Copies of this chain bind each other. A is one copy, B any other.
Amino acid sequence: MTMSDYDELIHSLRERGHRLTPQRRLVLEALQHGDHHMSADEISQTIIAHYPSISVDPTTIYRTLRWLRDVNLVSETSLGQNHMVYALLGSDDHHHLVCENCNGVIEIDPSILEPVRRELQARYGFAARLAHISIFGLCARCQMGDAVTR
């Protein structure tokens, strides 16, 4: 996303009554800084590390992340752990294959789901939001004997 795209986006959000508060800027900055998926707690720690004098309430971080997800700026993904992870959308998009046995994660090209997206739109008129989703199952190694033996 270019800078002018970003400005335009903020402007269009403002027009719809959304506000760009210091807290929201800090969360966005943290997400830009950490280039991988981040948990709410990692975002909080990143803000504290960069601005020790500022404190952002965890509730606000959660609410900001939900807002960013709702306006399609970040993805929210479960990787089989006890917390969600978040990532800025628009570059390095991919999906995840999560092994339920060894907890390993394989990142895959998002194009594999394009036919499904098209069919859902055609058949049901449904616009699927398929961004950074997880597909759970068993990886090649864990399939041997383990699907039953676990």
Contact = CB atoms under 8 A, between A and B. Distances in A.
A112 interface: yes
Given A120-B135, A124-B140, A129-B138, 17 more contacts: A70-B150, A97-B120, A97-B124, A97-B126, A99-B126, A112-B119, A116-B116, A120-B137, A125-B139, A125-B140, A126-B137, A127-B137, A127-B138, A128-B136, A129-B136, A129-B137, A130-B135
Assign chain A's interface to a size class: 20 to 34
A147 B112 CA distance: 24
Oligomer copy total = 2
Contacts of A59: none
A149 interface: yes
A61 to B, nearest CB: 18
Is the contact region of chain A dominated by helix, strand, or loop, or is it mixed?
A: mixed
A129 B80 CA distance: 13
A71 to B, nearest CB: 8
B112 A127 contact: no
A93 interface: no
